[in-house]
């Protein structure tokens, strides 16, 4: 299967940073529309927008439609813990909306990042694990049946020192390992963000302990990464897509430093993509209360076209020849 990659016939092969034996990717020129599915971490959008900004700056001649339809609280397992959100609503289930999302967005490629919510913050249980596996298999089959390609992303790391759910870090280790095993078991494409984040967290926390500093953290609540955590996620995705030349960048801003307008581009991409996210979520529909209501999709797409011209202008004006 041909898979989305880094947008140039001249770039036919890359060595990847990952410890596994992943093959460098080759662009499929038919890919135009790329959809991101996931929970609140995808909805936060930092890692998504970091990826989009880098690809926009690095490959300005390729104009892709990026659509983020991450939904806070969502699972692919269909599970919801008792009293979720203080009893206000059960966790949304991707099964309820996937068909509408695929039908309306018509993606060529889907990135899917699930797992964080799927163990519902309880210790490991074989029944819950089976629900997660069944949900991921169902998601994979549904995307492929729609005619799109899918790349899975392992769940981000869970920090028990910040989250206070004993044993949940082990749950996500298991979920991440199972997803990675599907590379060989089912020939899936899987990008690992979980274990690089875990390694980074443990190494920096060890240094802090040696110097009697407050414990280093990638997240304030155990679940939702801050800017650095999102960049580690984005960097792993970009390494997979573009090779290990991306691996040395310590931040999204540094990754865009080849363009004099890098910071402005990231800001403009973020504004545009978050506006589109709200519009697409409203248009495709969901059962998660409390989210912003996006503008009508046709209006959002017209506004996006204008904003896209500004992004392109910033890229062109900042390019060093």
Condensed to tens digits (0 to 9), the pLDDT of residues 180-205 reads 999 999 999 999 999 999 999 999 99
Cβ atoms of residues 144 and 107 within 8 Å: no
Averaged pLDDT, 248-264: 97
Domain boundaries, the chain: 33-249
pLDDT category at 18 given cuts 50, 70, 90 is very low
The pLDDT score that the predictor gives to residue 215 is 82
CB 73 within 8 A of CB 120: no
CATH of domain 33-249: 3.40.50.1110
> Bridge-partner residues for 68, per DSSP?
36
CB 261 within 8 A of CB 53: no
pLDDT confidence band for 321 (50 / 70 / 90): low
Q: What is the pLDDT of residue 189?
A: 97
User: Does residue 180 contact residue 154 with C-beta atoms inside 8 Å?
Assistant: yes
pLDDT category, 320, cuts 50, 70, 90? confident
Looking at residue 11, what is its pLDDT? 32
> Rounded mean pLDDT of the chain?
91
Task: Name the DSSP class of 156.
Answer: P
217: closest CA among 44, 117, 155, 226?
226
Element (H, E) at 263: helix 262-284
Return the pLDDT at 15: 31
DSSP 3-state of 95: helix
Residue 27 has pLDDT above 60, yes or no: no
Of 237, 243, 189, 188, residue with least CA distance to 10: 243
pLDDT at 1 over 50: no
| Partners of residue 38 on adjacent β-strands | 113
């Amino acid at each position: 299967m041909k898979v989305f990659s880094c947008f140039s016939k001249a770039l036919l092969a890359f060595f990847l940073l990952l410890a596994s034996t992943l093959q460098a990717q080759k662009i499929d020129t038919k890919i135009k529309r790329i959809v991101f599915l996931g929970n609140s971490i995808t909805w936060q959008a930092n890692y998504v927008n970091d990826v989009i900004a880098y690809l926009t700056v690095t490959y300005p001649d390729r104009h892709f439609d990026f659509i983020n339809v991450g939904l806070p609280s969502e699972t692919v397992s269909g599970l919801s813990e008792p009293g979720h959100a203080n009893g206000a609503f059960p966790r949304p289930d991707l099964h309820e909306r996937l068909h509408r999302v695929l039908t309306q967005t018509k993606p060529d490629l889907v990135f899917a990042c699930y797992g964080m919510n799927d163990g519902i913050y309880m210790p490991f249980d074989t029944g819950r694990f089976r629900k997660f596996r069944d949900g991921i298999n169902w998601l994979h089959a549904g995307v492929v049946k729609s005619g799109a390609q899918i790349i899975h992303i392992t769940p981000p790391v869970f920090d028990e020192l910040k989250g206070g759910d004993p044993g949940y870090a082990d749950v996500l280790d298991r979920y991440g390992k199972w997803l990675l095993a599907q590379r060989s078991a089912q020939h899936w494409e899987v990008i690992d963000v979980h274990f690089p984040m875990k390694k980074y967290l443990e190494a920096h926390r060890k240094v802090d302990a040696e110097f009697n500093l407050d414990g280093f953290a990638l997240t304030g609540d155990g679940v939702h990464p801050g800017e650095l955590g999102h960049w580690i996620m984005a960097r792993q995705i970009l390494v997979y897509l573009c090779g290990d030349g991306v691996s040395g960048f310590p931040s999204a801003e540094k990754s865009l430093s080849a363009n004099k307008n890098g910071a402005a581009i990231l800001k403009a991409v973020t504004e545009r993509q978050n506006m589109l996210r709200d519009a697409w979520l409203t248009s495709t529909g969901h059962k998660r209360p409390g989210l912003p209501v996006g503008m009508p999709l046709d209006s959002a797409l017209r506004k996006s076209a204008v904003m896209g011209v500004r992004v392109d202008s910033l890229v062109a004006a900042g390019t060093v020849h």
